Amino acid sequence: MKFVELKQSLKKQINNVYIIYGEDRFLQDKSINLLKQFAVTNFVEMNESIYNDENLNVQQMIEEAQTLPFMSDYRFILMRDCFSKLLESDKKMILDYIKAPVKTTVFVLCADEKNDFFKKCENNATLIDCNYLDLKTLTSLVPAMCKAVGKQITANALNKLIEYCAYDLARIDNEINKLASYCEGDVIKPEDVDINVAKTMDYETYKLANAICQRDYETSMKLFEYIMQEKGSTQYVIGALGNFMRRYFYLQATQNDKELCMSNFKLSEYPYKMMIKESGVLKKNELMNSLSEILAVDYKIKAGLQTDENALYSLITHLTTKL
């Protein structure tokens, strides 16, 4: 199920085994807190056990999962971000447990993405998808988050906030709290977002790739200078540009297979549509040529044939004027 469906699901019933996965840590935390809230009705400290990379002990974890709760409806067990450490014997213990879980325990496995072990567990668990939310869902959630801190937000400001934060709800939440402190008046406007919200580097390199596709030399150079000031690394810019151009080529080559594109690049609906639009500006052979140029410049820098900034400056000049 999607995160937005979890609360309604819990009002009907709580299950004994959950798998939480997805790159949005804010949604992960919200899901964990909701599950714990519905599971543990009394004496939280005595009915909650959390296992991570530092304290993982599978034998102890399973024994606690099999122990009756203390004056509460359920015991809550969380295993998070420690799956790379599992031995085969550990995996077997966990798999054996979740095939026949204790009815008074809520057992939760959580990580940023589905791993091979999750795939073995998912037939006996309820899955909660905490990947980045799409634009439609964020557009309905974010105004309520603004309202909670005493602010309203215009439609244009809302779109900017979501894009600047690259759909990351944790960042959006932090930026809303910042805007609540620094914005005058009750309404958050686009200029408030521009002044107060820090754009992710992903957003800036996305704009740089778009400017190159549009052959907009002036905008490309301004973005290049900004990114260099923030990151100070030509390798970062080259790597990011290469990734975006590779995406654009792949998106254009397979645009009829929307699900494959969104899955491979972990894109939600809105950025997928935007990237399809931008990738169509250049022809496939031009996108291939851009990738070749990027690889060639990367080689020249690493081989000491050209200085970093000169090579990158020449690359952007070439991509915007000669493709």
pLDDT value, residue 133 = 86
How are beta strands 48-51 and 152-153 bridged, if at all? unpaired
Global pTM reads: 0.66
Cα(240)–Cα(200) distance, rounded to whole angstroms?
12
Cα(302)–Cα(202) distance, rounded to whole angstroms?
24
| Region 56-85 average pLDDT | 94
Contacts (Cβ under 8 Å, ≥6 apart) of 170: 24, 25, 26
Burial class (CB in 10 A: 0-12, 13-18, 19+), 247: buried
φ, ψ of residue 165 to 5 degrees: the values are: -90, 5
Note whether 102 and 13 are within 8 A (CB): no
**282: pLDDT strictly greater than 80:** no
Cα(297)–Cα(238) distance, rounded to whole angstroms?
8
Q: By three-state DSSP, how is residue 20 classified?
A: strand
Do 85 and 22 lie in a common domain?
yes
Do 62 and 33 lie in a common domain?
yes
When divided into structural domains, the chain yields a total of 3
Domain boundary among 196, 221, 244: 196
Highest mean pLDDT: which of 40-54, 159-173, 207-221, 292-306?
40-54
Do 178 and 207 lie in a common domain?
no
Do 209 and 316 lie in a common domain?
yes
Highest mean pLDDT: which of 18-32, 163-177, 197-211?
18-32
Domain boundary among 100, 129, 158: 129
256-295: string of b/e by CB count within 10 Å (b at 16+)?
eeeeebbeeeebbebbbeebbebbeebeeebbebbbebbe
**9: pLDDT strictly greater than 90:** yes
Identity at 120, one-letter amino acid code: K
Question: Which is higher by pLDDT, 71 or 207?
Answer: 71
Cα(294)–Cα(236) distance, rounded to whole angstroms?
12
| Region 135-146 average pLDDT | 93
Q: Which residues are bridge partners to 25 per DSSP? A: none
Burial class (CB in 10 A: 0-12, 13-18, 19+), 182: exposed
Task: Give me the percent of the chain exceeding a pLDDT of 70.
Answer: 89
Cα(113)–Cα(23) distance, rounded to whole angstroms?
7
Q: Which residues are bridge partners to 76 per DSSP? A: 48, 106
Do 63 and 161 lie in a common domain?
no
Q: CA torsion, points 281, 285, 290, 291, in degrees to nearest 10?
A: 120
Do 151 and 122 lie in a common domain?
no
Do 149 and 93 lie in a common domain?
no
Confidence of residue 16 (pLDDT cuts 50, 70, 90): very high
Burial class (CB in 10 A: 0-12, 13-18, 19+), 126: middle
| Region 79-106 average pLDDT | 94
Domain with 145 in it: 135-196
Whichever domain contains 108, its CATH number is 3.40.50.300
Do 220 and 315 lie in a common domain?
yes
18 Cα distance to chain centroid: 20
Neighbours of 207 (CB within 10 A): 19
Confidence of residue 114 (pLDDT cuts 50, 70, 90): confident
DSSP 200-219: PHHHHHHHHHHHHHTT-HHH
**214: pLDDT strictly greater than 60:** yes
Cα(297)–Cα(172) distance, rounded to whole angstroms?
36
Confidence of residue 323 (pLDDT cuts 50, 70, 90): low
Length of the chain as a residue count: 323
Mean pLDDT, all residues of the chain: 86
List the 48-51 sheet strands across, edge first: 48-51, 75-80, 105-111, 17-21, 126-129
Question: Which is higher by pLDDT, 293 or 74?
Answer: 74
Instruction: Look up residue 284 and give its two tokens.
Output: 């496939």
Domain boundary among 129, 153, 186: 129
